[in-house]
Amino acid sequence: MDLGLRGRTYLVTGASSGVGLATTELLLAEGANVAACARDGRRLTEVVGRLAGADRAATFAADVLDTTAVQDFVTSAADRFGGIDGVVNNAGRSLLASWTETTDEQWRAELELKLFGVLRPVRAALPWLSKSDSAAVVNVNAVLARQPEPRLAATSAARAALLNLSNTLAVELAGSGTRVNSVCLGLVDTGQWRRRYEAADTDHGFTEWAAELASDRGIALGRLGNQDEVAYPIVCLLSPRASYITGAAIDVDGGVARYV
Ligand SMILES: NC(=O)c1ccc[n+]([C@@H]2O[C@H](COP(=O)([O-])OP(=O)(O)OC[C@H]3O[C@@H](n4cnc5c(N)ncnc54)[C@H](OP(=O)(O)O)[C@@H]3O)[C@@H](O)[C@H]2O)c1
């Protein structure tokens, strides 16, 4: 099936690794243009430059927490490609800390990243999104938004706030023709989990360690997901084929969520 993405332009934040990189790769493979950002511009340019279709990608060193940098990223992307059809708000990380361990500063940083890291790119892209005949925003979220974990106190609360904000945006932006959806991840094998494995005091190889993790967390499919398994639903939600889907949150979690 043709997803209808050829010639369209998408912004992807946090595109140098994991889910963001896989989404960039898939969008390029579908014939779209991609404007990608991450804080480390050198790493971003290097990894995106290796993808098939890299001549349709533009890379920008930008921190989603920096309003000016985000505005420059979005304006440069629109100038380069002549418009913007969608935004994938993916940049982020989680804070492994219980409620008692989390400082006020860390609470603020989590909320800043999860809320303003989404608000700013959407706000900056809105003038172009409203001119697209099929505009879409996808917010990369986590099942933590609805199933908080004690060891991820601030991240869980910030994820819940982002899910709530996504529904507000879906309603408010519907009038200007922009759909807003979320993908809620469980445990996906990306840079994040590789870093946690390296920090863990274990004699196991990554595969064995990840299998134990999947069992401990009760993942129904018995394994961590991979980044391509997240990129496909993101790209499907961006596609004009998903024209009647807005305000939805799709769990991509191998069955770890226990809520109904
Ligand atoms: N992997 C999982 O199990 C999982 C689960 C739930 C939710 N998520 C969420 O999914 C998203 C992608 O995660 P991932 O696992 O693919 O992580 P990853 O492999 O660590 O990649 C994170 C990407 O975001 C960029 N980034 C981080 N902070 C940024 C900022 N302030 N401004 C711009 N770019 C920034 C990083 O590049 P720089 O460091 O160069 O900026 C990198 O490109 C994140 O929002 C994460 O919280 C992941």
- What pairs with residue 183 in β-bridges? 140, 250
For the record, the structure tokens of 231 come out as: 């990129």
Cα-trace Rg, the chain: 18
Which tens digits make up the pLDDT trace of 13-40?
Answer: 999 999 999 999 999 999 999 999 999 9
Q: How confident is the model at residue 52 (pLDDT cuts 50, 70, 90)?
A: very high
Report the predicted TM-score, pTM, of the whole model to 2 decimal places.
Answer: 0.98
- The single residue listed with the structure tokens 């706030």 is 161
**For all residues of the chain together, what is the average pLDDT?**
97
* Distance from C-alpha of 31 to C-alpha of 29, rounded to nearest angstrom: 5
20 Cα to the center of ligand 1, angstroms: 7
Which of 11, 17, 72 to mutate for ligand 1's pocket (most ligand atoms within 8 Å of CB)?
Answer: 17
Domain 9-188+227-249's class?
Answer: alpha beta
Per-domain boundaries in the chain: 9-188+227-249, 189-224
* Distance from C-alpha of 166 to C-alpha of 139, rounded to nearest angstrom: 7
Question: Measured on CA atoms in the order 50, 238, 187, 151, is the torsion positive or negative?
Answer: positive
CA angle 242, 246, 251 (to 5 degrees): 85
Which tens digits make up the pLDDT trace of 201-212?
Answer: 899 999 999 999
Which tens digits make up the pLDDT trace of 171-203?
Answer: 999 999 999 999 999 999 998 899 999 999 899
Which tens digits make up the pLDDT trace of 216-237?
Answer: 999 999 999 999 999 999 999 9
Give the pLDDT confidence score for residue 201 in this predicted structure. 85
* Distance from C-alpha of 242 to C-alpha of 256, rounded to nearest angstrom: 25
Ligand 1 neighbours by CB, cut-off 6 Å: 13-20, 37-40, 43, 63-65, 90-94, 140, 142, 185, 187-188, 190-193
Q: Check: CB of residue 231 under 8 Å from CB of residue 19.
A: yes
Helix (H) or strand (E) holding 214: helix 206-217
Give the pLDDT confidence score for residue 191 in this predicted structure. 86
